[in-house]
């Protein structure tokens, strides 16, 4: 049986450790991080390893990296792990409903009480937070973050590197272009353009690009 490591040391990585060890009763060998970022001051519930020391072990890696810099950091980690002998794994919470014909890429994280209806296709390394609803015939690309209680109507398309804040809603049949940032509680009823930013106030388009939001 392959050893399982969680890549990252943030609160999100610790949350995944809890789910794996407490709710699924799985053994986690520890956390891992690039050697240059290890400070020795990390407070973790399991040992921390340099990724360079485990990359040739054929272990399983669960990427516990969030949405910083519009999910681009997670993409860099994904690419790094793909070049190693390790295997990128997903985490699906046992309370999530995923229809049998859903296509789900590797490295995805799907949390509590998510509903993903039939004919949905989801790419690699997406994070779908708790209580999200993804309706039928929707396509989601790669490296997206979908915040808790968001609702994605049927026949939507979400491309790559998008951020959907808590309780955001998409009208059916629209396309969310690459690197779109949708703020919490926002309803979007039209196609977006790359790097556009929408907020709750009548889904107003903001006069700045999503790439300028360094903490998202």
For the chain, domain boundaries:
4-89, 92-203
Q: Residue 209's pLDDT is what? A: 72
Percent of the chain with pLDDT over 90: 91
- Note the pLDDT tens digit of each residue in 92-105: 999 999 999 999 99
**CATH assignment, 92-203:** 2.160.10.10
Percent of the chain with pLDDT over 70: 94
CA nearest neighbour of 150 among 108, 116, 104: 116
- Note the pLDDT tens digit of each residue in 39-60: 999 999 999 999 999 999 999 9
212 pLDDT higher than 70: no
At residue 206 the predicted structure's pLDDT band, cuts being 50, 70 and 90, is low
User: Which of the four CATH numbers 3.40.50.20, 3.30.360.10, 2.60.420.10, 3.40.50.300 does domain 4-89 have?
Assistant: 3.40.50.20
Q: Residue 213's pLDDT is what? A: 61
Q: Residue 207's pLDDT is what? A: 67
Q: Residue 1's pLDDT is what? A: 74
At residue 15 the predicted structure's pLDDT band, cuts being 50, 70 and 90, is very high
CA distance 52 to 15: 24
């Amino acid at each position: 049986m392959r050893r399982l490591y969680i890549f990252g040391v943030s609160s999100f990585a610790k949350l995944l450790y809890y789910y794996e060890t407490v709710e699924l009763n799985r053994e986690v060998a520890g956390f891992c991080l690039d050697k240059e970022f290890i400070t020795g001051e990390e407070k973790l519930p399991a040992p921390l390893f340099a990724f360079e020391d485990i990359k040739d072990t054929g272990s399983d890696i669960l990427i516990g990296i969030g949405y910083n810099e519009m999910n681009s950091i997670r993409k860099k980690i994904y690419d790094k792990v793909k070049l190693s002998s390790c295997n990128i794994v997903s985490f699906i919470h046992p309370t999530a409903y995923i229809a049998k014909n859903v296509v789900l890429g590797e490295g995805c994280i799907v949390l509590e009480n998510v509903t993903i209806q039939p004919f949905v296709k989801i790419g690699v390394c997406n994070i779908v937070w708790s209580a999200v609803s993804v309706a039928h015939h929707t396509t989601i690309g790669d490296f997206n973050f979908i915040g808790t209680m968001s609702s994605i109507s049927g026949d939507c398309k979400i491309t790559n590197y998008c951020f959907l804040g808590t309780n955001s809603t998409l009208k059916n049949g629209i396309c969310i272009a690459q690197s779109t940032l949708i703020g919490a509680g926002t309803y979007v009823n039209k196609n977006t353009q790359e790097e556009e930013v929408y907020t709750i106030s009548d889904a107003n388009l903001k006069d700045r690009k999503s790439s300028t939001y360094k903490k998202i």
